[in-house]
Amino acid sequence: MEKITLSNGFRIMLDYVDWARSCTMGIWVGSGSGYEKESSAGFSHFIEHMIFKGTPTRSAFDIATQMDEIGGALNAYTTKEYTCFYCRSLTDHVDKAFDILGDMVTNPRLDEEDIKLEKGVIVEEIAMYEDNPEDLCLDTFYENAWSGDALGRNILGSRGTVNAATAQGLREHMSEFFVPERMVVSFCGCFDKDRVIEDCEKYFGSIKPTNNPIKKRQAVFTPFIKTVSKDFEQNQLILGLKGVGADDENRYACALLCNILGGSTSSRLFQRIREELGLVYSIDAFNASYLIGCIFAISKGLSKKAEEQALKEVFSILRDYPQSITLEELHRSQEQAAASLVMGLEATPARASRMGRSELLFNCVEDEDKIIENFRSITIEKIRAAAQELLRLENTALCCVGRVNKSSFYSDIIKNR
């Protein structure tokens, strides 16, 4: 792995894999919903869409057909902390694929007619997420847990901010966030090093830095109870607490805790609440880690009539969890974490993604063997202490969507946990 920095601060991450016959390349931009103003909520995601609408020299159809002509794959996604534009091609076509990608990201047309058309597409996307119990519950949870903070806003924005978007507004957003200090490109696979550096210099070397790097801050977690009545066949419920941050020294212990608790079919929550009691179809535990906030949560899909017993069982497991974690569970989780990391990084898209995201957010890429060592060095005493610190149940937040009970029903269960 090699890092090259252009004179303007733009970073290039290179991972040459000699056995590969393709290359994955991506551009990571520190533009996400967590950094947006209230008036520009959803602009990062809107720009993600508009990047595909054409440049002065390529129409949207040109972009699609030219990538298809070389058998390449092209896509993008937006998160709360960054937007990623990426593609993959055979080694013979890396130059062409990156030429398309670089042109798209640095020279989007942002035509007003295209923007008008895409507003309807994004509004439909918002409606689609609102019709999905898991997405609606998670978005509502974030909105209330980080109430008043940009991190809590929907990545898609609102219908109001989407419909108010203009070409000028999107350009202003890009001029603030699509800058060298908030951008990283990564290449993983088989490629010509000198040529890709030359191509990066062509598209990104002349962009002027603005002294607007990604800065760490902390969104305040607020306990709450929120219900959303929707005519879903199944309720979706999330219990949550303040979690462990993406750069916290306890992040490895927290990952193991999540896995033991609800990260696999052998986990405590899955075995007790699904397999033994049959109260849910799905249940899992996760830690949503960001530089600017974090949440530890348990998510489950279940019927309204099963909610009381399921919630009481979850709290029963959580109360005893810190001191009842066994060595067998710890060792099993450590091997699962190591295997997941190693197997995942045998694919060039995962390696490219890890390089781009890590360099963008943390200014470094942690060594794979060091990560495995960090997982395997967690002792039973350390993981129990981490669980004790994490599971402060007096600060529990809850969100439920579907054919919900009254808020008092949930608050009584939490009080009597």
User: Is-catalytic flag, 366?
Assistant: no
Residues of the chain with pLDDT under 70: none
Is domain 225-415 given the CATH code 3.30.830.10 in the classification?
A: yes
**The token pair that represents 402 in the structure block:** 């579907």
Task: Check for a shared fold between 2-204 and 225-415.
Answer: yes
Handedness of CA 40, 43, 44, 47 (dihedral sign): negative
Residue 88 has what pLDDT? 98
Residue 245 has what pLDDT? 87
Q: For the whole model, what pTM was predicted?
A: 0.94
Residue 116: helix, strand or coil by DSSP? helix
Name the residue among 69, 67, 70, 110 with its Cα closest to residue 86: 67
**The token pair that represents 41 in the structure block:** 């909520």
Residue 248 has what pLDDT? 87
Alpha carbon distance 384, 389 (integer Å): 9
Domain ranges of the chain: 2-204, 225-415
Residue 271 has what pLDDT? 96
Which residue out of 2, 36, 38, 48 is catalytically annotated? 48
Percent of residues in the chain assigned helix, strand, coil, to nearest 5: 50, 20, 30
Architecture in CATH for domain 2-204: 2-Layer Sandwich (3.30)
Q: CA distances (Å), 331 to each of 257, 325, 337, 378, in order?
A: 12, 11, 10, 9
β-bridge pairing 183-189 and 11-16: parallel
